């Protein structure tokens, strides 16, 4: 599917109704557009089934609560709506985007308690997020921005505003011929990529940053569970940037990224080793089981 995401065939679930794709619009004074009062979920359907669907819907509600608004649809209603979107668009393998936001209403300042909350769900076909990086390893830049302290913003919400530095960092990375960028956190420790968590391998053991100031991804949690089932030691800990020199393998995890090998981060190089390939292949089998 090519062209603008605003100009496509299909249906989008919008506040309980199926709307023609091109008609799923909002007013220019929508609060979320001005003040980022928006939360979302990215999900993948495999063979008609959304992987960890309910966990995504529950997290959407959690994120809204972190931004001080309540979604006017239950988790069960969201679950049904997602299935309806897949069915009406004839999709079985697809990316599903649920988004909730404060709309235009009586308030047009920072405060927006009187404005209605909306929910929309769209789905479309979307291939590998990093293209052929799944085979040769993605190349990452190191962002000039840092993930903020938990004292400054609701870092565990999947909120639109938290992705502002992700966009600018990914643009800068792509301008350098990289696929993505790695963030350090406010302490200068290794954090995550712009839309994915990160794992490293050394001496047969796995190391991954402790998610104390960024999203503990559902794919991240799934992969940790897979590693533990294999009795592979997993260390969730603070990682200094200089430690990357000693790591042998690296991969990214995320709903869009799935499990993607990393070949280079800045001046640090990694092999696409056996464990990385195993996790990528095993994750693919799991989501399609």
Active-site residue numbers?
A: 158
Encode pLDDT of 220-245 as tens digits.
999 999 999 999 999 999 999 999 99
What's the N-to-C CA distance of the chain in angstroms? Answer: 26
Residues 104 and 220 in one domain: no
Is 209 inside any structural domain? yes
**What percent of the chain stands above pLDDT 70?**
99
Other CB atoms within a 10 A radius of the CB of residue 276 amount to: 22
Helix axes 53-66, 218-229, angle to 10 degrees: 130
Residues 230 and 193 in one domain: yes
Determine the pLDDT at residue 136: 83
Residues 237 and 259 in one domain: yes
Is the pLDDT at 132 greater than 90? The verdict is: no
Q: Would you give the DSSP letter of residue 149?
A: P
Residues 226 and 99 in one domain: no
Q: Are 121 and 89 in contact (CB under 8 A)?
A: no
Give the Cα separation of 132 and 21 in Å (integer).
30
> Which of 124, 151, 169 corresponds to the end of one domain?
124
Is 2 inside any structural domain? no
> Which of 124, 143, 160 corresponds to the end of one domain?
124
Is the pLDDT at 32 greater than 60? The verdict is: yes
Task: State which residues form the domain around 280.
Answer: 133-287
> Which of 124, 152, 171 corresponds to the end of one domain?
124
Residues 82 and 219 in one domain: no
Is the pLDDT at 1 greater than 70? The verdict is: no
Name the 3-class secondary structure at 244.
Answer: helix
Find the mean pLDDT for residues 185-203: 98
Is 4 inside any structural domain? no
Count structural domains, the chain.
2
Residue with tokens 């799944």: 134
Find the mean pLDDT for residues 129-136: 76
Average pLDDT, the chain: 96
Residues 43 and 119 in one domain: yes
Encode pLDDT of 246-284 as tens digits.
999 999 999 999 999 999 999 999 999 999 999 999 999
pLDDT band at 135 (very low <50, low <70, confident <90, very high): confident
Backbone angles phi, psi at 95, to 5 degrees: -100, 135
């Amino acid at each position: 599917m090519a062209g603008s995401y605003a100009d496509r065939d299909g249906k989008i679930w919008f506040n309980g109704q199926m709307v023609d794709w091109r008609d799923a619009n909002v007013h220019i004074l929508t609060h979320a557009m001005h003040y980022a009062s928006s939360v979302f979920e990215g999900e993948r359907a495999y063979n008609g089934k959304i992987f960890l669907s309910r966990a995504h819907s529950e997290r959407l509600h959690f994120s809204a609560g972190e931004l001080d608004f309540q979604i006017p649809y239950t988790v069960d209603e969201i679950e049904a709506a997602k299935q309806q979107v897949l069915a009406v668009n004839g999709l079985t393998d697809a990316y599903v985007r649920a988004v909730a936001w404060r709309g235009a209403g009586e308030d047009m300042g920072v405060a927006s308690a009187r404005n209605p909350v909306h929910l929309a769900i769209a789905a479309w076909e979307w291939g590998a997020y990093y293209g052929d990086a799944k085979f040769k390893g993605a190349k990452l830049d190191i962002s000039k921005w840092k993930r903020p302290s938990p004292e400054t913003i609701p870092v565990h919400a999947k909120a639109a505003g938290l992705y502002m530095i992700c966009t600018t960092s990914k643009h800068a990375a792509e301008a350098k011929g990289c696929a993505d960028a790695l963030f350090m956190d406010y302490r200068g420790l290794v954090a995550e990529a712009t839309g994915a968590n990160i794992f490293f391998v050394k001496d047969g053991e796995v190391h991954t940053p402790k998610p104390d100031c960024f999203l503990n991804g559902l794919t991240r949690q799934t992969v940790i569970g897979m590693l533990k089932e294999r009795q592979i030691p997993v260390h969730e800990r603070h990682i200094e940037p200089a430690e990357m020199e000693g790591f042998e393998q690296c991969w990214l995890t995320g709903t869009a990224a799935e499990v993607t090998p990393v070949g280079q981060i800045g001046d640090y190089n990694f092999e696409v080793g056996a464990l990385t390939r195993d996790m990528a292949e095993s994750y693919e089998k799991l989501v399609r089981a």
